Amino acid sequence: MKIRLVHEEEYSFIEDFVYEIFQNTNYSDGVAEKALVREIREKHYYIPQLDLVVEKEGVIIGHFILSKLPISNKYKNKILMLSPVSVAINHQRQGVGKYMLQEGIKLAAKLGYKGIIVEGDNHYYHRFGFRTSTDFGIYASEKNLPPSEENLMAMELCENGLANISGEVDYSIYDALRH
pLDDT band at 13 (very low <50, low <70, confident <90, very high): very high
Condensed to tens digits (0 to 9), the pLDDT of residues 83-122 reads: 999 999 999 999 999 999 999 999 999 999 999 999 999 9
pLDDT at 144: 82
Amino acid identity of 157? L
User: Domain residues for 150?
Assistant: 2-177
Give the C-alpha separation, 64 to 52, whole Å.
6
Residue 176 is predicted with a pLDDT of 85
One-letter amino acid for residue 91 of the chain: H
Beta bridge partners of residue 154, listed in sequence order:
117, 131
Coil/strand/helix, residue 167: strand
Paired strand residues for 131: 154
pLDDT at 143 over 90: no
Q: What is the mean pLDDT of the chain?
A: 93
CATH number at residue 148: 3.40.630.30
The answer to whether the beta carbons of residues 35 and 171 sit under 8 Å apart is no
Total domain count, the chain: 1
